[in-house]
Amino acid sequence: MLIIDGKKVSIDLKSELKVRVDEHRAATGKVPGLTVIIVGEDPASQVYVRNKAKSCKETGMHSSVIEMEASTSEEALLSKIRELNDDPDVHGILVQQPLPKQIDEFAVTLAIDPAKDVDGFHPENLGRLVMGHLDKCFVSCTPYGILELLGRYNIETKGRHCVVVGRSNIVGKPMANLMLQKLDATNCTVTICHSATKDIPSYTRQADILIAAIGKAGFITADMVKPGAVVIDVGINRIDDPSTKSGSRLVGDVDYDGVSALASAMTPVPGGVGPMTIAMLLKNTLQSFERANNLQ
């Protein structure tokens, strides 16, 4: 079985991005800038934000983090976003989720300039994705990362049946629409399964490419997978494991031990899709910079 190594690909991609950033710095004296806003003190969010800042530094991009109190009002956050929209040195704006309950997440998504929405969540970017205008939008980072992995590992997609398990706005819906596109790296027949789907195994067993993004540890078992399928595991679930020092470990939505005996290629957890998300965020930020400075 081929192990699709997202950690390696993300390192390679960040090295490639650094070359382009250095070239732009030499030619223009400017570099891409990413600003992350974090509201409150969620520990997991803080770790994720630190990783983003570290990756920006590795690629030569400018990174800034704006920390706001958990009691911040929605209007105060929207005001800060408008300020960043107008800042020519900021090419990507990301508001870290989750947000405190007094703030409407959709209002925040709408407030970000679509040209700086490097998370790819704004309805304008999602609409352009659905319409096939991928050169004029930003694609959500996790689906975009999966597409990058399929391309780098030369996974044949044209005409194949892709089954996406999960329908979230962050992964499932954009992933399905991406795999539908008439591109060399997609062009699939697509089926979406979700929590209300009856007899999910009857669909997953038809998949040439199975993408699991349902958020349930070990949900996809060997009896649900067609022999020879390519299996992409998006899940990141923490489960108890007394044998580890921390008492827990990360697993995906796929039963790795069982399914790896059947699959022709598969992403591990951790080290598969996860590392690609930040790498594609940086790629989107560079693309935003190039569009803003007519460098494409």
Q: Are residues 46 and 160 in the same domain?
A: no
Residues ≥6 apart with Cβ < 8 Å to 245: none
Distance CA 223, CA 204 (A): 9
Q: Is residue 33 part of a domain?
A: yes
Say whether 96 is catalytic. yes
Catalytic annotation, pick one of 5, 14, 96, 117: 96
**What is the average pLDDT across 280-292?**
97
Confidence of residue 105 (pLDDT cuts 50, 70, 90): very high
**What is the average pLDDT across 200-225?**
97
Phi, psi of 22 (to 5 degrees): -65, -40
Overall domain count for the chain: 2
The predicted pLDDT at position 42 comes to 81
Q: Is residue 127 part of a domain?
A: no
Confidence of residue 114 (pLDDT cuts 50, 70, 90): very high
Distance CA 215, CA 219 (A): 8
**What is the average pLDDT across 238-267?**
93
Spell out the long-range contacts of 191-200 with Cβ–Cβ below 8 A and sequence spacing 24 or more. 191/161, 191/162, 191/163, 191/164, 192/163, 192/164, 192/167, 193/163, 193/164, 193/165, 193/166, 194/165, 194/166, 194/167, 200/165, 200/224
Tokens 């022999």 appear where?
227
Q: Are residues 94 and 157 in the same domain?
A: no
Q: Is residue 133 part of a domain?
A: no
Phi, psi of 143 (to 5 degrees): -60, -40
The predicted pLDDT at position 46 comes to 84
Residues ≥6 apart with Cβ < 8 Å to 102: 73, 74
Q: Are residues 64 and 184 in the same domain?
A: no
Q: Is residue 129 part of a domain?
A: no
Q: Are residues 76 and 165 in the same domain?
A: no
Q: Is 205 annotated as a binding residue?
A: no
The answer on pLDDT for 296 being more than 80 is no
**What is the average pLDDT across 249-262?**
96
Q: Is 167 annotated as a binding residue?
A: yes
Confidence of residue 183 (pLDDT cuts 50, 70, 90): confident
Q: Is 215 annotated as a binding residue?
A: no
Task: Kindly report, residue by residue over 23-46, the tens digit of the pLDDT.
Answer: 999 999 999 999 999 999 888 788
Q: Are residues 178 and 220 in the same domain?
A: yes
Confidence of residue 232 (pLDDT cuts 50, 70, 90): very high
Say whether 52 is catalytic. yes
Q: Is residue 40 part of a domain?
A: yes
Q: Is residue 220 part of a domain?
A: yes
Catalytic annotation, pick one of 14, 52, 173, 283: 52
Q: Are residues 165 and 93 in the same domain?
A: no
Residues ≥6 apart with Cβ < 8 Å to 275: 6, 7, 9, 10, 11
The answer on pLDDT for 175 being more than 90 is yes
Q: Are residues 52 and 170 in the same domain?
A: no
Q: Are residues 78 and 169 in the same domain?
A: no
Q: Are residues 100 and 146 in the same domain?
A: no
Q: Is residue 164 part of a domain?
A: yes
Say whether 22 is catalytic. no
Catalytic annotation, pick one of 5, 14, 80, 119: 119
Could you give the percent of the chain with pLDDT greater than 90? 89
The answer on pLDDT for 15 being more than 90 is yes
Domain limits at 44? Answer: 28-113
Q: Is residue 196 part of a domain?
A: yes
Q: Are residues 50 and 157 in the same domain?
A: no
To the question of pTM greater than 0.85 for the whole model, the response is: yes
Q: Are residues 94 and 148 in the same domain?
A: no
The predicted pLDDT at position 246 comes to 87
CATH number at residue 241: 3.40.50.720
Task: Kindly report, residue by residue over 124-166, the tens digit of the pLDDT.
Answer: 999 999 999 999 999 999 999 999 999 999 999 999 999 999 9
CATH number at residue 59: 3.40.50.10860
Q: Is 15 annotated as a binding residue?
A: no
**What is the average pLDDT across 219-247?**
94
Q: Are residues 240 and 146 in the same domain?
A: yes
